Structure 1
């Protein structure tokens, strides 16, 4: 397996960089197809969330891929715009990183449960477009198993946390209490659903929901006894809210500086708080310059998330041990697979030799009955298998020890010039 992982996340790139690389859900399949068509990519997967964009590729040994070039061309970016923010992992390090991501150890909010579902969604899309085959299939299934073990064997997810819950925690800190506060949710996806739950727990009086799909807005509003408002009338209803939480997939700003100023004018000086957990961002950063408007992006949630990390440090350490153990197990499995071609080559060579010797002796064995001929065939098979047992056991041990030289030697010896060797044996 020749694996490479290239990406950016919330620790290496600010939101203004991440949003330039963000891939909307409805564009993920096309982006994955483009990755698969890039020279040197045998298998591929793309993970795009509010906190990270990562590209995973199984390399074609004959033509190594330039994933940095893929990023520049696909997103039409200059190298200087993204290069300082990129990280790259290969082989074992890439495996470890992916296992940590799936286990929510690399998340802004350590232990949040959403990331595993996002990895699974990326995997599903990659499978649908034919970008996942044997290598990435093994890798991803192992990542899912690792994440499950982290969840079941540690308390890292003991309390339900997410970016949405951190956003609500921030709103609580701003107001002191959410009792009697009006909240507008813009976007009715999973993040909005989680935010609504936490807001109601904190005492919010009414929740307004706006979504481009009216049915989804009505469904979410009904669940929390709120009110669905038409997305087209968003600017009309926004002044009613004390807190606006946005989480859409819009490509442009949902709230501009001018619109924020208009909202504040209608609120007669009462402040309004925008908590923008979307990437790309829904609220123009310049809106923060308007008196009375306070805009918090997803990166501003990092301080709140840091407190969460302190509380979970002990569980995170236990989870890291599980990840290390599973990485070792995965690597051993890969090394065992490395022995398969060499073992097959030896078995095929031995079987060819056995068949050749039986053919040479055909004349001398002509007088044997069918039962006797079958006994000779079984005897020669048994002798070959017993002779090969020790060499094959040695190859498996070499694979587990990572001794690629021994395996390559066996492959060359038993897969090169078989026919010529057999002919030479006949002439002796």
Structure 2
């Protein structure tokens, strides 16, 4: 007996597994092609796509219903992880819940930072990779397209990604409030760590083209500057370039301030007192608190950003509730489409079966006519033969259902054959 195939979402994420486990189950880009083919050959998956990020590893696929254990075993074997250890961290969703889960992932509702937009691009990359490697079929294609449509609807109809919920994003959001046109501004970033790198990426996305990276280790500054298409200078030269910056954002591990009031005063003089926007994300501070007293400087600290972040989190949570409603509505619509497709397939098979019976009976009737039987007698036999064969299997199944007390099947049969309708006056 052929097993029923279902949509499957299986994996681990930052909520269920520590980073040590996530690292061991991550797929490197060069592994994906082999993994997709291997999952189909050995993992009970007829169609499959793999999403692998720093916060999650997930397999989306079509598999025999309730065969999640086989897919888990494949994932464990591929990475050399004990299956029992993996089972403690893994989740498995089927059909409706799988569809809902992928939509929530795409919309950033399952992310470490609520509403973050990068995950949608990563999901699209996973889809493209699976397409390129020939591991997708019609069911997965429809599933991914539904997910992308829902994510687009959530992004355009809610404010899920509009409000800052990280220090880096909050710093750039404040800059956007102060400068009407960021593309005309010049930014100076002090430090080269993860937070400053994220600030730089947000600035680029906001339209800033002129970025300078300052760091004690010049090589690290150069690496980040290349990514941001900017320039790098050593920390020793900071005072020489400070006056060029409209926006200064600092985040280093220095135990003492790197920018004092006097340095900023000299920079302002060179700028002819054109305002400067400064954000000190570091703890301990990189910019002396006295700088705030200068009339043409807008200085914000990490405490100032916290209020912006709290406002952003609340706004995103409200938007997330709207997003959940859109996902639920989209899910119902998609399930209706799937059920309609199932009905079309069933009707196609019913018609094919009926046409086979018809053709057999017609051929039998033609042979009778060739033998000289009267047309009236042949037509009667044809009609009787068609009737008996078309209702033969339903009759057996209904008798069986009645004997087993399955009255619901009898009710559905009466509805299906229109037996409860009032007779036509015609």
- TM-score by structure 1 length? 0.57
Report the CA distance shift for 1:94/1:325 in structure 2 as closer, same or farther (over 3 A): same
Report the CA distance shift for 1:119/1:15 in structure 2 as closer, same or farther (over 3 A): same
Unaligned runs of 5+ in 2: 174-186, 235-248, 259-283, 285-307, 371-378, 395-407, 414-426
Aligned to 1:99: 103
Coordinate RMSD, CA, aligned: 4.9
Measure, in 2, the Cα distance between the counterparts of 1:71 and 1:344: 37
Measure, in 2, the Cα distance between the counterparts of 1:199 and 1:228: 23
The one of 224, 231, 234 aligned to 1:226: 231
Aligned to 1:255: none
Measure, in 2, the Cα distance between the counterparts of 1:306 and 1:73: 43
The one of 22, 25, 28 aligned to 2:26: 22
Residue deviations 1:302-330 (CA, integer Å, cap 9, x gap): xx988743221221111101100111111
Residue deviations 1:352-379 (CA, integer Å, cap 9, x gap): 233334334447989xxxxxxxxx9xxx
The one of 40, 60, 65 aligned to 1:36: 40
Aligned to 1:346: 350
SS in 1 for 2:17: coil
Instruction: Give the C-alpha shift of residue 143 in structure 1.
Output: 0.6
Instruction: Give the C-alpha shift of residue 60 in structure 1.
Output: 3.7
SS in 1 for 2:192: strand
SS in 2 for 1:71: helix
Unaligned runs of 5+ in 1: 173-178, 230-240, 245-263, 273-291, 293-303, 367-375, 392-404, 411-428
Report the CA distance shift for 1:198/1:64 in structure 2 as closer, same or farther (over 3 A): closer
8 Å contact from structure 2 (residues 213, 224) kept in 1: no
The one of 197, 203, 228 aligned to 2:204: 197
User: What is the correspondence of 1:355-366 to structure 2 with a 5 Å cutoff?
Assistant: 355-362=359-366
Instruction: Give the C-alpha shift of residue 347 in structure 1.
Output: 0.9
Report the CA distance shift for 1:312/1:185 in structure 2 as closer, same or farther (over 3 A): same
8 Å contact from structure 1 (residues 218, 228) kept in 2: no
Instruction: Give the C-alpha shift of residue 67 in structure 1.
Output: 2.2
8 Å contact from structure 2 (residues 168, 199) kept in 1: no
Alignment of 1:206 with 2:206, yes or no, is: no
Report the CA distance shift for 1:93/1:157 in structure 2 as closer, same or farther (over 3 A): same
Instruction: Give the C-alpha shift of residue 198 in structure 1.
Output: 7.8
The one of 171, 181, 184 aligned to 2:192: 184
Measure, in 1, the Cα distance between the counterparts of 2:130 and 2:119: 17
Measure, in 1, the Cα distance between the counterparts of 2:89 and 2:367: 74
Instruction: Give the C-alpha shift of residue 62 in structure 1.
Output: 11
Aligned to 1:326: 330
Measure, in 2, the Cα distance between the counterparts of 1:107 and 1:63: 27
Aligned to 1:295: none
Measure, in 2, the Cα distance between the counterparts of 1:211 and 1:60: 53
Alignment of 1:87 with 2:91, yes or no, is: yes
Instruction: Give the C-alpha shift of residue 226 in structure 1.
Output: 2.1
SS in 2 for 1:66: helix
Residue deviations 1:152-202 (CA, integer Å, cap 9, x gap): 22222334x68xx54565999xxxxxx96523268999x68625538998x
Report the CA distance shift for 1:139/1:349 in structure 2 as closer, same or farther (over 3 A): same
Measure, in 1, the Cα distance between the counterparts of 2:205 and 2:336: 43
Structure with bigger gyration radius: 2
Alignment of 1:121 with 2:129, yes or no, is: no
Alignment of 1:139 with 2:146, yes or no, is: no
- TM-score by structure 2 length? 0.58
SS in 2 for 1:36: helix
User: What is the correspondence of 1:227-376 to structure 2 with a 5 Å cutoff?
Assistant: 227=232, 243=251, 308-362=312-366
Measure, in 2, the Cα distance between the counterparts of 1:109 and 1:10: 11
Measure, in 1, the Cα distance between the counterparts of 2:219 and 2:10: 33
Report the CA distance shift for 1:180/1:200 in structure 2 as closer, same or farther (over 3 A): farther
Instruction: Give the C-alpha shift of residue 221 in structure 1.
Output: 4.2
